[in-house]
């Protein structure tokens, strides 16, 4: 990944602080720089001020260029401008190196922060302890602890491992990369027992690796006061691992302890309500957001729309979408998919057309998944083919496996099973078990045993531990009155030690969500429920 990756294995000479540049009072107090520092808040303001800086020759002054770099590298600035300013500096000082590396570590392209760090190793200015946290954060963003471990070794040689900020970012890097044993090793060496940042990284890391019980143990045993980030990490960890009721319960506890939730908390709760289908809980969260005047940014609004759609309240979802003035593409995608999944296919296609005619936005790959899903539910094969071609030819979007799966669903649902099979065989991507399973499911509906056998064989090969292939193939045989073959598929499933995951459903009653597993008897009111079902069946027979 790096052109000078071997440089990380070398030990640079001990760092020494650079001499500060001579400060000219005239330059420091120049009106353009004063305006830049005190009144420039947006990149639009910067574009108005920067031409004057160039005209006056200040762009070549180290003090002025450092001020310009500081603004451009800030969240209000522009990282591309920041890099151009940095690249034109004849002799950037330590502050300038740290500023540009830190700025790139916060972007969607953190690999540039690492490349700049490597360049720094070969420059006259050597890194100091404030440089390393940004580089570890960049490795964490990339999930690349393998190369980050080399930097960890360099830190150990330089004796910087005792620095709290460096150690925290090392733990964050390992945890975010899923290497919890390495993260735990560094964590156990910590000097400050009340370092909440370290605990937050460990809680997040365990949750990301699916070790949610370890996350909760770390959460419960914290010797320091939990921050809102701690609570958010634990709540989002529960949501990530499907422990949705636990997420809602923990939020209640968070409120009892008087901890102020953030937008991140609200998004996690909305996701939990969406997956549970807990409409009343979701409405309460939405009202809570409005009552407490949370910032309605694109992420929050998208989560609200998604929650209402997944809970079946399309009217509320559309109302939120229509009333929110600054709709991002994710909002459009969420409502299009939500309409398509809730029986409003024509409205979804109409909304997609409006997105196409928008001057500010254009459809992306997710948008096309939404409109293809609408075509699938409508059985509109020709429309689906047109959108599929439009995506590739007009928008230059390469179809993903999800797009091909949508097309297989459309073709299979309308009985074009041979065409669907040929599409799978001819696509440039390697087919997975899901797309073959989609074809197999269509074969069950259409009663095509021959194609079903070929699709089932692919499912067995690609995912032998998945029971869905055996179950679907058994249903295909049963629908064709071939009951011996259907039983044989069930026996094969047992011989291969493959178990079908029990179905799960939930219902919200008086604000409480009840979960039920197929055949399960763990609900506290199991006896009453089965008694009522039996009574109902007798009543129906009468």
Q: How crowded is residue 185: how many other Cβ atoms within 10 Å of its Cβ? A: 12
**How far is CA 522 from each of CA 217, 413, 508, 525, 526, rounded to the nearest angstrom?**
25, 37, 17, 8, 7
**How far is CA 85 from each of CA 70, 81, 94, rounded to the nearest angstrom?**
10, 6, 15
- Spell out the domain ranges in the chain: 214-316, 422-501, 504-541
Per the CB < 8 A criterion, the answer to whether 249 and 220 are in contact is no
Alpha-helical runs (H) found in 106-243: 111-121, 132-142, 145-158, 164-176, 180-188, 196-208, 212-220, 228-240
Question: Which residues in the chain come in under a pLDDT of 50?
Answer: 1-6, 9-28, 500, 510-511, 536-542
**How far is CA 528 from each of CA 487, 521, 532, 533, rounded to the nearest angstrom?**
34, 11, 6, 9
Residue 354 dihedral angles phi and psi, to the nearest 5°: -65, -35
DSSP track, 377-440: HHT-HHHHHHHHHHHHHTS-PPP-HHHHHHHHHHHHHTT-HHHHHHHHHHSSSPP-HHHHHHHH
DSSP helix/strand/coil, 513: strand
Per the CB < 8 A criterion, the answer to whether 234 and 219 are in contact is yes
Nearest alpha carbon to residue 260 among 299, 217, 231: 231
**How far is CA 2 from each of CA 141, 173, 390, rounded to the nearest angstrom?**
15, 18, 37
What is the DSSP code (8-state) at residue 190? Answer: -
Place of tokens 């909305």: 270
In whole angstroms, give the CA distance from residue 168 to residue 289: 32
pLDDT at 479: 60
pLDDT at 445: 80
Per the CB < 8 A criterion, the answer to whether 354 and 371 are in contact is no
Q: Answer whether 214-316 and 422-501 agree in fold.
A: yes
pLDDT at 60: 57
CB-count burial class (<10 Å; 0-12, 13-18, 19+) for 206: buried
Those residues whose C-beta lies under 8 Å from the C-beta of residue 412, and which sit 6 or more positions away, are 420, 438, 439, 441, 442, 443, 445, 446
pTM across the whole model: 0.70
CATH class belonging to 214-316: mainly alpha
CATH class belonging to 422-501: mainly alpha
DSSP track, 443-481: HHHHT-HHHHHHHHHHHHHH-TT-SHHHHHHHHHHHHTT
DSSP track, 162-187: T-HHHHHHHHHHHHHTT-HHHHHHHH
Residue 418 dihedral angles phi and psi, to the nearest 5°: -65, -40
């Amino acid at each position: 990944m790096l052109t000078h990756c071997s440089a990380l294995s070398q030990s640079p000479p001990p760092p020494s602080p650079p001499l500060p540049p001579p400060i000219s009072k005239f330059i420091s107090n120049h009106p353009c720089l004063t305006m830049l520092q005190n009144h420039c808040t947006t990149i639009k303001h910067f574009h108005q001020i920067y031409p004057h800086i160039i005209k006056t020759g200040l762009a070549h002054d180290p003090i002025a260029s450092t001020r310009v770099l500081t603004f451009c590298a800030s969240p209000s600035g522009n990282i591309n401008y920041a890099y151009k300013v940095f690249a034109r500096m004849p002799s950037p000082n330590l502050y300038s190196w740290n500023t540009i590396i830190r700025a790139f570590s916060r972007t969607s392209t953190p690999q540039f922060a690492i490349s700049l760090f490597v360049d720094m190793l070969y420059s006259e200015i050597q890194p100091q302890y404030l440089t390393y946290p940004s580089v570890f954060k960049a490795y964490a963003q990339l999930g690349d602890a393998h190369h980050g471990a080399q930097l960890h070794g360099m830190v150990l040689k330089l004796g910087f491992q005792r620095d709290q900020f460096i150690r925290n970012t090392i733990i964050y890097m390992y945890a975010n990369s899923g290497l919890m044993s390495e993260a735990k090793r560094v964590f156990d060496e910590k000097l400050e027992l009340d370092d909440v940042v370290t605990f937050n990284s460990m809680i997040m890391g365990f949750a990301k690796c699916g070790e949610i019980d370890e996350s909760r143990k770390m959460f419960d045993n914290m010797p320091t006061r939990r921050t809102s980030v701690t609570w958010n990490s634990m709540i989002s960890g529960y949501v990530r691992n499907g422990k949705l009721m636990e997420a809602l319960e923990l939020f209640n506890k968070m409120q009892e302890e008087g901890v102020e939730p953030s937008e991140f908390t609200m998004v996690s709760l909305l996701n939990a309500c969406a997956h549970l289908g807990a409409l009343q809980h979701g409405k309460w969260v939405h009202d809570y957001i409005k009552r407490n005047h949370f910032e309605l940014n694109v992420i929050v609004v998208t989560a609200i729309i998604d929650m209402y759609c997944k809970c079946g309240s399309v009217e509320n979802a559309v109302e939120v979408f229509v009333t929110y003035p600054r709709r991002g593409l994710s909002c459009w995608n969420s409502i299009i998919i939500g309409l398509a999944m809730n029986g409003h296919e024509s409205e979804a296609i109409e909304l997609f057309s409006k997105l196409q005619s928008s001057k500010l936005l254009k459809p992306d790959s997710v948008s096309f998944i939404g409109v293809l899903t609408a075509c699938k539910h409508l059985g509109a094969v020709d429309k689906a083919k047109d959108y599929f071609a439009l995506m590739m030819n007009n928008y230059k979007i390469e179809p993903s496996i999800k797009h091909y799966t949508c097309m297989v669903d459309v073709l299979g649902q309308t009985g074009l099973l041979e065409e669907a099979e040929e599409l799978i065989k001819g696509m440039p991507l390697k087919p997975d078990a899901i797309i073959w399973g989609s074809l197999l499911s269509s074969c069950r509906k259409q009663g095509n045993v021959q194609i079903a056998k070929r699709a089932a064989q692919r499912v067995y090969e690609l995912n032998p531990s998945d029971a869905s292939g055996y179950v679907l193939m058994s249903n295909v045989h049963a629908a064709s009155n071939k009951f011996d073959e259907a039983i044989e598929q069930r026996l094969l499933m047992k011989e291969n030690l493959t178990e079908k995951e029990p179905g799960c459903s939930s219902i919200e009653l008086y604000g409480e969500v009840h979960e039920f597993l197929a055949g399960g008897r763990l609900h506290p009111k199991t006896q009453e429920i089965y008694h009522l079902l039996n009574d109902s069946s007798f009543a129906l027979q009468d």
